[in-house]
Structure 1
């Protein structure tokens, strides 16, 4: 399935749910995700939110490998929304 870019901003309620969903057990992941929200939450779109939801289905170690660019998205994760969110997550300060 290919994600279609939906540039609608995420509602406050959906943003709150998404932040809750993004809580991780691995501190390193939490640091990446917290930085992502600090930088992008005010202009987060439905497109990005869906990519982030897809990433949150991964185990902590698989997610960290993607965020550190040790791996690239494959199979069901090889989608435009996932790639877009990873680019934002990987952007250093």
Structure 2
């Protein structure tokens, strides 16, 4: 019996600027029950950077329910991007190539500056 040779190690992950923006291509399923969908997304909003946790969860809790279906799908796709790319987009250091993602980033950034009231 021939044992298969182990696959070569692909090496470290590429630097953020080398990650193509088309990473999360799959179209997510949105749960029919909005509360259940928000609960599921709350876990996806947990990131390796506390700042991203706070920004994404605040937007999820305050604004997600007001989004149109295509914007909700874009938000789910947005959560598929690496932390460093999201960080750069949310701080205005980079801009997504896809207009719908750019609009969504703008909404999240606007939510950063609004207060509860």
User: Scaled by the length of structure 1, what TM-score is found?
Assistant: 0.72
| Alignment coverage as a number of residue pairs | 81
**1:10–1:85: structure 2 CA closer, same or farther, 3 Å change rule?**
farther
- 2:77 is the counterpart of 1:54: yes
Q: Which runs of 5+ in 2 are unaligned?
A: 1-31
- 2:112 is the counterpart of 1:89: no
**1:38–1:14: structure 2 CA closer, same or farther, 3 Å change rule?**
closer
**Paired residues of 1:10 and 1:49 also in contact (CA < 8 A):** no
RMSD of equivalent CA atoms: 2.1
Question: What is the CA deviation profile of residues 29-79 of structure 1, one whole-angstrom value per residue up to 9, with x for unaligned ones?
Answer: 1121122124214423322221112211111111100011100002xxx14
Higher RCO by CA contacts (8 Å cutoff, separation 6 or greater): 1
1:31-70 equivalence runs, <5 A = 31-70=54-93
Q: How far, CA to CA, are the matches of 1:38 and 1:13 in structure 2? A: 12
User: Counterpart of 2:6?
Assistant: none
Q: Which runs of 5+ in 1 are unaligned?
A: 1-8
In our comparison, the structure showing a higher alpha carbon Rg is: 2
